[in-house]
Structure 1
Amino acid sequence: MRKGLRIELLDDVITSASSATAATPRALAYIPGAMLLGAAAAGRNWPVEQAFALFQSGALRFDDGLPVDQAGALALPVPMSLHRRKGSDANLADRQGDILDCAACDPAAGFSALRDRSYCTNGHEHVVRSRTSLRTAIDPATGRAAEGQLFGYEALRAGQVFWAGLEGPKDQVDDIAQCLEGEHFLGRSRSAEFGRVRITTVEPWQLSPDGTGETTRYVWFLSDFWAVGSNGLPTARPGAEALATTGTVLWQRSFTRMRRFAPYNAHWHKRAPERDLISRGSVLVLEDCPLPLGLHRFGIGQELGYGLALVSDRPPGEALLALEQPDVPMPDPRPAAGSQTRVVKWLAKMAERDAGGKEIERKVQRDVADLRKYYISARRLKGGQEAGPGRSQWGRLEAGLRNGEKVAALMDTKPWDDRFKAGDKATFKAMLEDRSPERLAHLAKAMLAAMAQEGWPDAD
């Protein structure tokens, strides 16, 4: 069974091509399947037997998240066999001799390879947007910026959409799809402002090339390929046996590039074994090959999204234009009628809090003015002696309210019971007992500031 996953980037996501910390590691232009596997594994406390079946047995495969343009068209990694005339900006759709597919013909002078790009089946290039930021490490001993420890990140910019897939037994696919629904954090530096995405289950994408009856096969890799030779060891020069088929690889027409890295495993707190992968976009041409046309998976690490390839009997550039374009259901950028976005709700909450704060400040100013008069009256009743709570009592009240203590316990000293006129409600404690803790906390701060003025309470 196969299901699709639509991944919306709510924040910038760091998809570094290597786990290096020096300089600024380049960002991958897609969401690696390993990130989705990690998010699913961390999403629940899976039993040991179930965790092995889901994430280590290889029965369930997490495809890379490929970019999607604004119209909902899937963008595929450009075949490395495609070359463009130097100085030209022609797309595949209007090649007019400026685009050359060297998987089907000899290279020509004046052409350069198209690399690190994504093309939709309409032949137009899709640019995956990224952003670079420079940061400094924090010294844990001082909590300040560490001297001379600058580092950078290149991240995929928020607002983009990617389309991934799950493939495996129905019960496993359903469990993982349910686990991945909603918001998650992917990539590096997830504890900072990076990595937040929203994942939604959608229909899976399919690519079915038309056949011409030829026996030549063009294997175009849509993800990195972890190839294994006949001796069972990884290889950079795979033969037909690495694709579980027969035939002869035409290396003069094939185009491959290697990528070597050692991923960092956060659970182990160390790097995993180094991997030598044939990069996505590589093209292998096989002669007299019986491979069926369509999508296939080859090599090891398929649970991480490795080895996904499109097999066609046409050159990759021609096959790309002949594919039927799968369309991703795109999220509506506008909120539904009557609904509020998270930003609107936050702004409304801030406005409400500001309005409430201003109202409390107005009431506190009136309280301070009244208390000034009450202090003067209380001193007259005591024959000019000090009366009412002093700065130490107001300071204790302010600190106690900040720590969540009860108001009654904070006003249990004698100065709060001083009277400023005749009557049961004419004490400082009785005057303040109907104030809310929030208002009392503001009042305590205001009284400490007022009593610090020279000549209090007579000075106005």
Structure 2
Amino acid sequence: MKSLHFNVVLDMDVVISERSATTGGHSSLSYLPGACFLGACAVRLYTKLGTKAFDVFHSGAVRFGNAYPIDDEGYPTLPIPLSWHYPKGSASHEGTILLTDNVFNLVHLSSENESKWKKDNVQPKQMREGFFSDTGTIRMPTSSYRLKTAIDRTKGGRAKESQLFGYESLDAGSNWYFSIDFDDEVSPRVLDDISEALTKGHIRIGRSKSAEYGSVDITAAEKPPYRLRPGMEDGVFIYCLSDIALRDPLTGAPTLTPLPTHFGLKEDAQLSREETFIRTRSYTPFNSKRKAHDFERQVVCMGSVIAFRTSSELTQEPLEELQDALDSGIGMYKHDGLGKVLVNPSFLSTEHFEPAPKTALSQIIEVKAEQVAEVQSDQEMLLGWLDSRMILKEIERESLEMVEQWLKVLVPGVRRQKRIAPGKSQWGQLRDVAIRSTSIGDIETALFNEDKGLCTSGISKDAWKTEFYYDNGYISFALFLENVVLKTAKDKDHPGHEYRLLQRVIYLLGNQMPQKLSQEEA
């Protein structure tokens, strides 16, 4: 088996819905599913691969793994095992540090601690969220929630009645990692094509990609994120590194009951329900290419621990052979990142998790010394978060005010020069420029580059050259964007946030002008 490893940086907030329904409450997954990267790769490669496309995207010979967070020091993280519990009323972590003395692995709970819990009337509480690293840190991916409203295009772009909805999204700026596994028969050329497709320029994943969500930057990683070998020999404990979708071997129907045969175990293996900790969920993926839902999937959730007891003697060698056999995944939908498991990982071998020394681990990304700040107090972190939110709110307020003033001159200007002025489609392209950009330079190039700029090339060039009356004189729509819009936004005093303000202004112009022009026609 061959593998490629990648780092992912979210350039924008990313919407990864827990369920594809458009009604009811909306919540986000805490990771990036492998299906997102499969889809982004298929957009760029499906036609190019021709008859090989089925082998790459459907056969399971190529398996796109889920992306999990990288901690603040550059180390990979894994989903919290569901066998980890802590006493209700206490804490499992402090800041980003896992309180290992408070966290018990109930697979190995000692009779002494169990008796003490019963005597003190302590209730164990399952850890169900977050990711941990071998260094003893815990990572809770941050998310945001935004309310939006659907637009009624039949009424001039006005808001639809009773169509308020919201998106929870993973926050921009976070770092993630994932791997793609290949069967040995997959040609090296295919590996190169997939790597190039994912790393050449920004890609977009998740929901609402046509709006201000979903842009990510992917780079190849030289080091594999982890290579965990079996570390315990008193049973077979399967840790679900991702969701797994199982089928009943007799009927072929989906099942949520793990069987020894699912994991290549001998018939004498028996499921140990007392030592098994699983959660399940069902969901129906939406295929954006076909604009339709796939079949419902019933899965055992990542982080689940499935225990088997066997009468056969267990040693390191057969356990490692079992891990090698399961490295290619189990169950269905392996191409989408499902089915990855670990056999007897070391972090499940003791009652309390024992962090490994950092000298024994490899960082996925190199964190420069000046980037490693001292741990802030809760108050300092809160003040920094509030300050950042205030800046973003100020940018949003200023951008709305500026665009509102410009609309007062742009809309009449287009109306007077209606036949030759930029129309709704040309103004709408400003929105695409803002979405695809990552810097002020990107926006300037997309608008004014002599060979491919929106305002300086192509069939719309003459429309943007059209002049209208502004500030006691005449100015072209292109010069208005360059000398008024861009200059005003760049001159605002927001150190470190100049691009954010300009991007928001361009996005709002591209969103509001077509709506205003539609209202003029209505």
Q: Name which of 45, 49, 52 aligns with 1:50.
A: 52
Structure 2 contact 91–99 (Cα < 8 Å) conserved? no
Q: Does 1:127 align with 2:179?
A: no
**C-alpha separation between the residues in 1 aligned to 2:337 and 2:237?**
20
Counterpart check, 1:100 vs 2:104: yes
**Correspondent of 1:149 among 157, 163, 187:** 163
User: Structure 2 CA distance, aligned partners of 1:322 and 1:128?
Assistant: 21
Alignment partner of 1:207 is 2:208: no
Q: Which amino acid aligns with 1:186?
A: I
* Aligned ranges 1:280-359 → 2 under 5 Å: 280-288=302-310, 290-292=318-320, 294=323, 296=327, 297-312=329-344, 316=348, 318=350, 321=354, 325-330=361-366
Distance 1:173 1:401, change over 3 A: closer
Which residue of structure 2 lines up, in the alignment, with residue 237 of structure 1?
A: 257
Task: Give the count of matched residue pairs.
Answer: 355
Give the alignment partner of residue 185 of structure 1, picking from 204, 213, 216. Answer: 204
Is this contact kept in 2: 1:218–1:315, CA < 8 A?
A: no
The residue identity in structure 2 corresponding to 1:328 is: I
Look up the equivalent residue of 1:65 and give its one-letter code: A
Deviates more, 1:72-81 or 1:225-234: 225-234
Gap change, CA 1:439 and 1:243, over 3 Å in 2: closer
Would the alpha carbon gap of residues 447 and 239 (structure 1) be closer, same or farther in structure 2, given more than 3 Å must change?
A: closer
1:144-198 Cα deviation digits (max 9, x unpaired): 1101111111100000011011111333222211111131000000000000000
Counting aligned pairs with the same residue, the percent is: 29
- Tell me the distance in 2 between the aligned counterparts of 1:244 and 1:133: 46
Tell me, which stretches of 5 or more residues in structure 2 are unaligned? Answer: 371-413, 424-462, 475-522
Aligned-pair CA distance for 1:265: 1.4
1:442 deviates by: 6.1
2:291 and 2:236 map into 1 onto residues whose CA distance is 43
Tell me if the contact between 1:166 and 1:173 (Cα under 8 Å) persists in the aligned partners.
no
Deviations 1:378-436 (A, max 9, x none): xxxxxxxxxxxxxxxxx9x97798579xxxxxxxxxxxxxxxxxxxxxxxxxxxxxxxx
Task: Name the amino acid aligned to 1:103.
Answer: V
Aligned to 1:8: 9
- The yes-or-no answer on 1:219 pairing with 2:238 is yes
Equivalence map 1:403-414=2 (5 Å): none
- Change in 2 beyond 3 A, CA 1:241/1:160: same
Give, in angstroms, the shift of residue 117 of structure 1. 1.5
1:331-389: CA deviation from partner (whole Å, max 9, x where unpaired): 8899xxxxxxxxxxxxxxxxxxxxxxxxxxxxxxxxxxxxxxxxxxxxxxxxxxxxxxx
Q: Cα 1:398–1:35, aligned 2, differ >3 Å: closer, same or farther? A: closer
Q: 3-state DSSP class of the match of 2:59?
A: coil
Preserved contact between residue 40 and residue 179 of structure 1 (Cα < 8 Å): yes
| 2:136/2:355 contact within 8 Å kept | no
Contact 2:75 2:365 in 1 (8 A): no
1:171 matched to 2:189? The reply is yes
Is the CA contact (8 Å cut-off) linking 1:79 and 1:317 kept in structure 2?
no
Please say if 1:255 is aligned against 2:277: yes
Q: Contact conserved, 1:104 with 1:315, CA < 8 A, in 2?
A: no
C-alpha RMSD of matched pairs (Å): 3.2
Report if aligned partners of 1:23, 1:152 keep a CA contact under 8 Å in 2: no
Question: What is the distance in 1 between the residues matched to 2:73 and 2:209?
Answer: 29
CA contact (8 A) 1:78 1:114 kept: yes
CA contact (8 A) 1:236 1:278 kept: yes
- CA-CA distance at 1:127 after TM superposition: 1.5
Q: Contact 1:24–1:154 (CA<8 Å) still a contact in 2?
A: no
Structure with the bigger percentage of helix: 2
Match of 2:24 in 1: 23
Contact 1:229 1:241 in 2 (8 A): no
Give the whole-Å Cα distance in 2 for the aligned partners of 1:441 and 1:239: 73
Alpha-carbon displacement from aligned partner over 1:263-287 (angstroms, at most 9, x marks no partner): 1112222211100000000000112
Distance in 2 separating the partners of 1:82 and 1:399: 66
AA aligned opposite 1:177 = S
Aligned to 1:356: none
Change (3 A) 1:442 1:331: farther
Q: Report if aligned partners of 1:24, 1:153 keep a CA contact under 8 Å in 2.
A: no
Query: Which residue does the alignment assign to 1:33?
Result: 34
* Alignment gaps of 5+ in structure 1: 335-394, 405-436, 449-460
Distance of aligned partners of 1:332 and 1:230 in 2 relative to their CA distance in 1, 3 Å threshold = same
SS in 1 for 2:154: coil
Q: Does the 8 Å CA contact 2:73/2:367 hold for their aligned counterparts?
A: no
**Alignment partner of 2:237: what SS?**
strand
Give the distance between the partners of 1:144 and 1:403, measured in 2 at CA: 22
